Amino acid sequence: MKKTLFLAFGLATALSNLALSGAALAQDRYRERPPVVVSPDLAAPWVMQLAGPNGRPVVYPRQAAQPRTIYQQREQQPVVRRGIFDRSPAQQVAMRPQPLRSQIEPQFLPQTVAYDTKEKAGTIVIDTNNRFLYLVTGNGQARRYGVGVGKPGFEWAGEHRVTRKAEWPDWTPPSEMIQREAAKGHYLPARMDGGPENPLGARAMYLGSTLYRIHGTNAPWSIGSAVSSGCIRMRNEDVTDLYERVNIGTKVIVM
């Protein structure tokens, strides 16, 4: 019995000493903790070093800045709404190219001017040299329009009466004109229906029994020039205005 108690007391004492030794050993292991070393590179993150007093700071290489991609907002295109009468792209390509001269000079636009004449109100006087048509209104005034006149070799002068009026007239080129243009390589149709592409334009006033007319045009940039085969041409909006002011039987003087 005594032997058993002695053995138990000895075992307990050994275990106690072992525990105290282990605690002391643990305290010795962590008695000197390694210092915290901060990287001197301010651009690098803070790194805790556990390699002891001889530890070296870990320096991460600085990464090159990546270029930023800037996306530009695409300019919004206007929405085009097409109607049933709009031309398709193929038809637009086939259209006649616009001339360089798209506007006439201001003096050829309609305006009321002082005009001294012995002719009665309602008379039309055409000054071919200056490319003006005057509609006498009386009281020393006239309504003046710019016109295109006959090219060299096709000038004429005289006095006639308006014998016929037509809206969007058809065009039947004279045989002489067809032959003359064919010699230049320009082939004219035997007849052309009235419309925006017709050389006679929106209105026509026929002079006497001649082939000459005061008419509109599909080439408004030619107003103020000598380019016709003898006819007096006007812008469509101008010939329409004159058409409403003139009656059959109106006297027309071409100078």
Query: Residue 215 catalytic?
Result: yes
Beta strands in 105-146 (DSSP E): 111-114, 124-127, 132-138, 141-146
Tally the C-alpha atoms within 13 A of residue 68's C-alpha that lie toward its C-beta: 3
Residues 143, 203, 213, 215: which is the catalytic one?
Answer: 215
Residue by residue, DSSP assigns 81-101 as PP-TTSPPHHHHHHSPPPPS-
Residue type, 93: V
Task: Out of 133, 135, 223, 231, pick the active-site residue.
Answer: 231
Half-sphere exposure of 99 (CA within 13 A, CB side): 9
Residue 214 is classified by DSSP as E
Is 160 catalytic? The answer is no
127 vs 109, 118, 144, 246, CA distance in Å?
15, 15, 10, 18
Q: Catalytic residue positions?
A: 215, 231
